Structure 1
Amino acid sequence: MSAAIGVSAHPVATLLCVDDEPNILSALRRLFRASGYRVLTAESGALGLEILEREPVDLVISDMRMPHMDGARFLARVRERWPGTLRMLLTGYSDIGSIQDAINCGEIYRYITKPWEDHDIVLLVRHGLERRQLELEKARLEALTVRQNEELKALNQSLEAKVEARTRQLKTEHEATVAANSKLKQNFVTTIKILSSMIELRAHNRPGHARLVADLARQIAINLALDARETQDIFIAALLHDIGKIGFPDTLLGAPLTQLHGEALGQFRKHPVRAAELLMPLEELRGSAAILRGQLERFDGTGFPDGVAGLAIPVGARILALAADYYNLQQGAMVQRHVSAEGAKSLIIGASGTRYDPHVVVAFRQIVEGGSGADAAGVELLSGELVPGMVLARDLVSRDGLMLLSVDHVLDARMIQQVQDFETKSGRRLAIHVRVPRKTP
């Protein structure tokens, strides 16, 4: 045999050499110890199996021809018990059948013939151990990948659950916010209506006058396809269109417009400016404030306070001017006599293009002549016919013009009882309009 060569393959690898010839074992021990390996030896397959029971072994080199248990059977046992241990066969004769048995049964990595070249056998062992190390690293990485994938899957499931829970929470919070916002808006409009009722008491208007103006103005705005915010601003402005008159003396409040002259007429013409000034500090009412300022402007430019004409007048002011005049004519606030609804309509149509915007006049005619909004008016019922769950189609107003309940209020048993008690104490029946759902065929 050639001299051993000093090649370092794996500093901690343990080799087990099995051969029934002591001199072969000694030669292998010297060769592989010189190469930096830990070397164990056994003189039979049985002894080799005992060592494997006690010691972790990276690679086994076994002779083929041994008594009691040949190399093929020994390596087959090793493969069965310790499949991760690399196996090599050492044979001293050319027996192809025996080598095939070792390959098939023991699944050996390589076979080495006697006599061997030290350099060749060391390289075979080094390459085998490197391959084993790569396989172990591959198995470790695959196991790590599987574990990390499982952890990632669990994390994803946890994240999905957290996202779902957070989404539900946000949805609940959003719904609560929307409900609260809707309630605030409803309360805001109700407050405006109450304020409007208080203004009517001071302005000597017929009870419900402002609500009639506001309802007509809103219908015209809808007919002209204005957006929801503009329509809301117009509705609120109409409810408060007399707020600038709140400081007027009784003599001025009770006089028709055609009888006002001099200082009284000048004071009257200033009420739109005062109304706008009263509302301007509230940002939510600035749109309505601009409408109130322009309510006495005329389409031909001869109005007050700014003398603007045509489309330069805010559309809400053009609508409010017509809606307010329609009911003021009937109430006697513009001329000394009370004009009928039909007469008021004719006067407005006659002033189209001069006092009023022609487009607004067209929308007004479609409403008063076509019955627009009839469905929204609901059905009038007696208080004894009310049942919980009914929805008011109109504001519930007393005979004195005080608003008791706002439109869209959902009646419950307690509120129905209060309405009935109010009628009993006042001695007057209320005009109660509710929405009746359409029956499906």
Structure 2
Amino acid sequence: MDRVMIVDDDESILNALRRLLHITPCLSGGKLFKLTVDTFSSPEAALEKARHTAYALVISDYRMPTMNGVQFLKKFRDIQPDAARLILSGYADLNGLIRAINDVGIVRFVSKPWNDYEFVSTLGQVLALRELTLENQRLADEMRLSKGDLSPEEFERKRLEEAEPGITKVHWGPDGSVLLDESLLDRP
């Protein structure tokens, strides 16, 4: 089951998409399955959740008051580089879309209002492409591992980080201890 994050400052959009994805199965890679959907009206709250929860796909509104979709997706990509990224917008800002494609590697642009069938079909295609890309990366990593170009530790670190974002990031205290609370890093 794939987990999807949707970020939009309009609660009615979030409710409509949550309802649509709750009742409509998604077809990806020849498999029919339900998506787990997390919705956020705040990009900051979404980024905090992304630090601890793995997502296959993130969909962001382009225009939001505190952070636009490109800025949000850049930060999200830093946390989870392997998640597929889509922009959802009611505005046809060609320069913004080009920037989104170039800066954050969005896979698709979905316009508001959307056609439900096309929206769900797009998600299935994007998730299938993501699975294929991840499989290619895994096979390439296995080849590099067998040739000695990648250490077993780095191979395992990549696998763990994909499964559990942030698990391999360790914050060390000045005395060499492991800090579980990042806010303690700023203390003397």
* TM-score of the superposed pair, with normalisation by structure 2: 0.70
Q: Distance in 2 between matches of 1:70 and 1:81?
A: 17
Deviation at 1:109, TM superposition (A): 0.7
Tell me the SS of whatever aligns to 2:65: coil
Q: Which has the higher contact order (CA 8 A, sep 6+)?
A: 2
The runs of 4+ residues in structure 1 deviating greater than 3 Å are: none
Deviations along 1:308-357, one digit per CA (max 9) or x if unpaired, are xxxxxxxxxxxxxxxxxxxxxxxxxxxxxxxxxxxxxxxxxxxxxxxxxx
8 Å CA contact 2:86, 2:109 repeated in 1: yes
Give 1:166-245 correspondences, 5 Å limit: none
Name 1:18's counterpart in structure 2.
7
Q: Distance in 1 between matches of 2:99 and 2:65?
A: 17
Name 1:70's counterpart in structure 2.
68
Q: Distance in 2 between matches of 1:101 and 1:146?
A: 33
Deviation at 1:105, TM superposition (A): 1.9
Deviation at 1:100, TM superposition (A): 1.9
Name 1:83's counterpart in structure 2.
81
Give 1:56-135 correspondences, 5 Å limit: 56-135=54-133
User: Which structure shows the bigger proportion of residues in strand conformation?
Assistant: 2
Q: Distance in 2 between matches of 1:111 and 1:126?
A: 14
| Aligned residue among 52, 55, 58 for 2:53 | 55
Name 1:44's counterpart in structure 2.
42
Give 1:266-415 correspondences, 5 Å limit: none
Deviation at 1:103, TM superposition (A): 1.7
The amino acid across from 1:70 in the alignment is N
The amino acid across from 2:36 in the alignment is R
Q: Distance in 2 between matches of 1:30 and 1:87?
A: 20
Give 1:25-36 correspondences, 5 Å limit: 25-34=14-23, 35=25, 36=34
Name 1:148's counterpart in structure 2.
146
Deviations along 1:218-270, one digit per CA (max 9) or x if unpaired, are xxxxxxxxxxxxxxxxxxxxxxxxxxxxxxxxxxxxxxxxxxxxxxxxxxxxx
Deviation at 1:126, TM superposition (A): 0.7
8 Å CA contact 1:77, 1:106 repeated in 2: no
Name 2:179's counterpart in structure 1.
none
Deviation at 1:71, TM superposition (A): 0.6
Deviation at 1:149, TM superposition (A): 4.0
Tell me the SS of whatever aligns to 1:47: helix
Tell me the SS of whatever aligns to 2:88: strand
Residue correspondences, number: 139
Question: Sequence identity, in percent?
Answer: 37
Tell me the SS of whatever aligns to 2:51: helix
Q: Distance in 2 between matches of 1:33 and 1:135?
A: 26
- Root-mean-square deviation (Å): 1.3
Deviations along 1:337-384, one digit per CA (max 9) or x if unpaired, are xxxxxxxxxxxxxxxxxxxxxxxxxxxxxxxxxxxxxxxxxxxxxxxx
Distance of aligned partners of 1:141 and 1:22 in 2 relative to their CA distance in 1, 3 Å threshold: same
8 Å CA contact 2:50, 2:79 repeated in 1: no
Q: Distance in 2 between matches of 1:96 and 1:138?
A: 31
Tell me the SS of whatever aligns to 1:16: strand
Q: Distance in 2 between matches of 1:21 and 1:78?
A: 20
The amino acid across from 2:116 in the alignment is D
User: Which structure shows the bigger proportion of residues in helix conformation?
Assistant: 1
Deviation at 1:51, TM superposition (A): 1.2
The amino acid across from 1:19 in the alignment is D
8 Å CA contact 2:54, 2:80 repeated in 1: no
* TM-score of the superposed pair, with normalisation by structure 1: 0.31
Deviation at 1:81, TM superposition (A): 2.5
The amino acid across from 1:48 in the alignment is A
8 Å CA contact 2:51, 2:79 repeated in 1: no
Q: Which runs of 5 or more residues in structure 2 are unaligned? A: 26-33, 149-188
Q: Distance in 2 between matches of 1:27 and 1:113?
A: 14
Deviation at 1:72, TM superposition (A): 1.1
Tell me the SS of whatever aligns to 1:134: helix
8 Å CA contact 1:73, 1:105 repeated in 2: no
Q: Distance in 1 between matches of 2:50 and 2:105?
A: 18
